[in-house]
Structure 1
């Protein structure tokens, strides 16, 4: 074991640390020969799955894994191909990537191949994000990727119309601040209706990249307007917003506050946009910090069995709903990222707690794969309105054994739990996260492998689960990528050079500096009594006490006193 640097040398090196530098990824990571073997196995699984798609569904959106046919749920533009591009490049599958380019060039993104409207959210994160990420990762050599993303961008920009004025005076339709949820590409008009928080706030990474590569600021301006409109609406707690809005009035129409469906990636993009831009506009990071602090104070609970940490949903009208979901398990990875950027040891500790809890849903499952959604009983809440599983029932027994009971037992090939375990590995350097991801990969191979590629599961509660004839493109874009990156050379998509979109498409940071000023007053910086979740204690990343005083300094000095070496003293 190498010894830590002597303090005089450490002091000298600190003089050369850029004033605004923020290190996210742990600097002492390395790929062992064993992990390289695992990465190659993940790559083989991806290639085999993609070749099944090529054989049975080429040019369509998804392969139907059980019937060896195809389905078109994303307008028939070949979602699996576009969503897979960045994964191919990340895995070094350059020939496979090159083989898709003629098809990419042939797509007519002005006309869906299937009837119906176009999802603004899904089209931005899968198609626009996939094209732009592939352009950057491939060395900006294939202009067709930007050109096709721009075609989509111009069509999607019309989702910000049919607003105030509505064109009834014979002039052009009015612009809205938020986009509508659905677009009709045949008429170039949006389907007027409410919009979810996630749809309104999950475009600024992709549209900023699109503006940069096209030299057309219109796309970024639309995304900024949407984010600004949301942040200007009612906050039900500081930094926490309702899940549905009326784009014609910018008024919230649902007071449900959640980090799950309809809301999740709005909060995710607040910190990731700050990451991409070096915190050039501090309102995004500040709003994220406000929201995380509010969540820790008012929405975070431990289960009465096992003391697992999860958040609730909350409404001013109906109160708390003590449930959590696979989709919301992106949150611990996002909190760990933000904690490193904001140098906040309390958020860091809570992120690790929730990551452990999400990982537990996999470890506690008969298949080794976590369910879609679950309930828990919150410790310290005595209200008669808190649901409890019936004593002696199957759900009661499950809760007594696991600390949660399953509400929705499906597995739809979601990536979020593995995503957060990937962030936990890259940020803490604790190899236990690699082992947990490997267990998840083995479980997915065992239970989801289908006649063609991989299939969703009807239930994770049976070791002989029925499979569904569906295989979303995010299996290739996200789950397989996070599996691979957990075992790859850590310099592949280094978190100090890339931010990763909600669809797991890496985009280059515009700067590796991070301009962050004084901590806001509410940030807990050393007073244990102020911790939102006593008796929980911040950790130093080694499972020991820390996060205050010297612990804060050690987090800053990870580059010079690697945590993996410090942790060895705890073994």
Structure 2
């Protein structure tokens, strides 16, 4: 008996498939008519917002949405224009892109238009990343985009040098945080983990397109220096460093501000390069396992899963943030690359918890930061909201109480829901993204473009006169990509920077062995556990437990002991 023809063709084609072909994105995604109509609505909203910026703030960094004015918080180079270029191209708004392109050649990136130092971090992620992504997405036709990125690259490279111009030219491994573009000297001081570790995607691309490896060398040097510093638990690093000594000056471990995108870029650089240097993926895995073992907790109300901040000196801070909600999307990406179903399942739990902050808030938009009470931790040092207070009632209703109620048009919750859709194929994530889009459209639409909110804890929106460029680069892009043809920015061809600028992968292979069956199965099916159980169980590092015995404050160890299954 001969096999049917389709099966025979499949069997014959198997030897031709790459041994280590990656498969991050779910293979069975299609754009439905509903998705197409929703994508068009998002595109229309973006187009109207950008035209408002063009009318009231062209050439400035941001539009002031309530007063129909402008502001310059990113050196006056037109951050909204540069940050929006990749979104225009992703949405197929080619005419809008071409209308903005002439402005790019007029920018003098050698000096700010407004007085003040230049942020190395913000300039790399918004300007360098935006220019290079637009170059790739436009078919590598407009060399001016690379030329301008290179001008910035040479200026920013000086942040790796102390004392330039006074005869002491000492090369630094890590960059300083601020650069004076007038004097070509950095402001000597501490650097955050995120600043030191959020340049390797952009500088890899810049070196590739200019043929100048200096940029990548600087980024690699910074990452290598960070990886040589103290790991407070395997794969977990403090949030600030001295570039002069390559040593940590803070033992606070967090996935939120000052640290977040360092961890994000570990797995994304492995993704970009096909795991060419395994240290990035391995460090990422070590950090995720340590976080699951010692920093991850369930809330006593609602059973929501979040992480804590942690310090060896002060113990755990049971706080999570909108900014840190990039994490479940990042963990889903890494879980797929590393074939780790435990991380995969845990990431979905955290994604559900982040989505819950939207669905449970009065406006349908989540707050900036919140507290929770960790289950299984009996220490008297754990903060509780006062019974009968507004915060106490909020906790009993939602499983968290708000620490900071503002909304600054951040993308991270929607970003993770986008990854959950593209990787699992479960359309519940699309519905959640659509609800978020409708809420933002309803409550953040301003006289000009969209505005941040003073608070989400009200039934009527109270707007601020500010509109960050990442609204155009990130939030609107993730809204659109959730409903676009899934082949647009396919996750097996692109990695997406922390500012949501897609960059082409250097290779479409990934050296991590054959893929397990669960990766393309029913997204609702129970996944097999492959490594850590979240408390140092079978297959986990277990190192977090050992290290915690050396700490003064050990509530996570108590939790793991009480929840062992």
TM-score normalised by structure 1 residue count = 0.89
1:382 aligns with 2:363: no
Q: Which residue of 1 aligns with 2:549?
A: none
**Does the C-alpha gap of structure 1 residues 539 and 187 become closer, same or farther in structure 2, counting only changes over 3 Å?**
same
1:327 aligns with 2:323: yes
What's the CA shift string for 1:450-490, capped at 9, x where partnerless? Answer: 00000000000112121000000000000000000000000
Q: Secondary structure at the match of 1:241?
A: coil
**Alpha-carbon separation, structure 2, partners of 1:407 and 1:415:** 19
**Alpha-carbon separation, structure 2, partners of 1:297 and 1:540:** 27
Q: Which residue of 2 aligns with 1:457?
A: 453
Per the TM alignment, residue 101 of structure 1 is displaced from its structure 2 partner at its CA by: 1.2
Q: Which residue of 1 aligns with 2:245?
A: 249
**Alpha-carbon separation, structure 2, partners of 1:483 and 1:105:** 30
1:476 aligns with 2:455: no
Contact 1:376-1:404 within 8 A present in 2 as well: yes
1:373 aligns with 2:369: yes
**Alpha-carbon separation, structure 2, partners of 1:247 and 1:101:** 37
Contact 1:369-1:440 within 8 A present in 2 as well: yes
Q: Secondary structure at the match of 1:240?
A: coil
Unpaired stretches in structure 1, ≥5 consecutive residues:
520-524, 526-537, 550-571
**Alpha-carbon separation, structure 2, partners of 1:450 and 1:295:** 40
Q: Which residue of 1 aligns with 2:309?
A: 313
TM-score normalised by structure 2 residue count = 0.90
Size of the aligned set, in residue pairs, is 525
Aligned partner of 2:526 among 525, 528, 545: 545
Aligned partner of 2:489 among 490, 493, 496: 493
Query: Please, what is the CA RMSD of the aligned residues?
Result: 2.0
Contact 1:133-1:505 within 8 A present in 2 as well: yes
What's the CA shift string for 1:247-300, capped at 9, x where partnerless? Answer: 000110000000000000000000000000000011000000000000010000
Q: Which residue of 1 aligns with 2:100?
A: 100
**Does the C-alpha gap of structure 1 residues 182 and 43 become closer, same or farther in structure 2, counting only changes over 3 Å?**
same
Unpaired stretches in structure 2, ≥5 consecutive residues:
531-565
Aligned partner of 1:263 among 259, 266, 276: 259
Contact 1:413-1:471 within 8 A present in 2 as well: yes
Contact 2:20-2:514 within 8 A present in 1 as well: no
**Does the C-alpha gap of structure 1 residues 64 and 17 become closer, same or farther in structure 2, counting only changes over 3 Å?**
same
**Alpha-carbon separation, structure 1, partners of 2:119 and 2:241:** 16
**Does the C-alpha gap of structure 1 residues 255 and 548 become closer, same or farther in structure 2, counting only changes over 3 Å?**
closer
Runs of 4+ aligned structure 1 residues displaced above 4 Å come to 5-16, 538-541
Q: Which residue of 2 aligns with 1:295?
A: 291
Contact 2:26-2:520 within 8 A present in 1 as well: no
Q: Which residue of 2 aligns with 1:206?
A: 202
**Does the C-alpha gap of structure 1 residues 480 and 84 become closer, same or farther in structure 2, counting only changes over 3 Å?**
same
Q: Which residue of 2 aligns with 1:23?
A: 23
Q: Which residue of 2 aligns with 1:535?
A: none
1:513 aligns with 2:509: yes
Contact 2:345-2:527 within 8 A present in 1 as well: no
Q: Secondary structure at the match of 1:235?
A: coil
**Alpha-carbon separation, structure 1, partners of 2:209 and 2:17:** 31
Mapping of residues 211-250 of structure 1, within 5 Å: 211-250=207-246
Q: Which residue of 2 aligns with 1:156?
A: 156
1:355 aligns with 2:351: yes
Contact 1:540-1:547 within 8 A present in 2 as well: no
Per the TM alignment, residue 171 of structure 1 is displaced from its structure 2 partner at its CA by: 3.1
